[in-house]
Amino acid sequence: MDAQEWEERYRAQDRLFSGNPNGVLVTEAGALEPGRALDVGCGEGGDALWLADRGWRVTAVDIAPTALRRGAALDPGGRVTWTEADLNTSRPAAGAFDLVSVQYFPLRREAGDAALHGLLDAVAPGGLLLYVGHEVSEVPAGSGFRPEDYYHPADVAARLGPQWTILADETRPRTAPAPPGTHHRHDTVLLARFTPASAATS
């Protein structure tokens, strides 16, 4: 889906998502020391606001203005930086985030992996990448979604170099019911820490 399609999807409903934070994020980030976080494909802001409530300085990025306006309306204090951007063409600041959270974000595969490298480069030394997707085998046939066109956590794990420490690369049962009309029972999860030599020896 392109920007216009996402925008139309949000406009068609008063709220597209539940507003609750994603379960894997809660599990993996609940005990982390807060720092700077990038919420990739933030939607209406459930994850971003949950992180902000825990003291994180959050940059929330989405392609759909309506989604961002809804998130900002729930954030009257302006704790989150709500940013409209297409991460296929616009790169986040390099080395700027202690946590880069990618929750079910449909990042399309491309030659050279430029957009993916942009996300990896955004992780600060010692920071974490949390990349979560749906179990591919549970995508129903005929849905129109071609899993092979997109990056999945295992694909990302295979592209990480020696400066990364993989903490989890696995399939897990979902901690919350799947969205209505879907059949997702499991999540695929990559959690990795960026540990360049300079950070490891400092």
**Which residues have C-beta within 8 Å of that of residue 89, sequence separation ≥ 6?**
115
In this structure, are residues 35 and 101 in contact, taking their beta carbons and an 8 Å threshold? no
User: Can you list the alpha helix ranges (DSSP code H) found in 31-169?
Assistant: 46-53, 65-73, 114-121, 153-159
> What single letter denotes the amino acid at residue 159?
R
Q: pLDDT at position 197, please? A: 80
Q: What is the pLDDT of residues 81-92, one digit of tens each?
A: 999 999 888 999
Distance of CA 12 to the CA centre of its chain: 23
Query: For 110-161, what is each residue's pLDDT tens digit?
Result: 989 999 999 999 999 999 999 999 887 667 666 667 878 899 999 999 999 9
Give the pLDDT of residue 180: 66
Rounded percentage of the chain residues whose pLDDT exceeds 90: 70
**Terminal Cα-to-Cα distance of the chain (whole angstroms):** 43
Q: What percent of the chain has pLDDT over 70?
A: 89
pLDDT of residue 80 exceeding 90, the answer is yes
Whether the Cβ atoms of residue 163 and residue 197 lie closer than 8 Å to each other: yes
Maximum Cα–Cα distance for the chain, whole Å?
Answer: 52
More confident residue, 13 or 198: 13
Q: Which domains does the chain have, with CATH numbers?
A: 3-14+33-201 (3.40.50.150)
Question: Rounded to an integer, what distance in angstroms lies between the CA atom of residue 151 and that of residue 131?
Answer: 10
Greater confidence (4 vs 118) lies with 118
- 190 pLDDT tier (thresholds 50, 70, 90): very high
| Beta carbons within 8 Å of 3's beta carbon, 6+ residues apart | 63, 64, 86
Rounded to an integer, what distance in angstroms lies between the CA atom of residue 22 and that of residue 85? 21
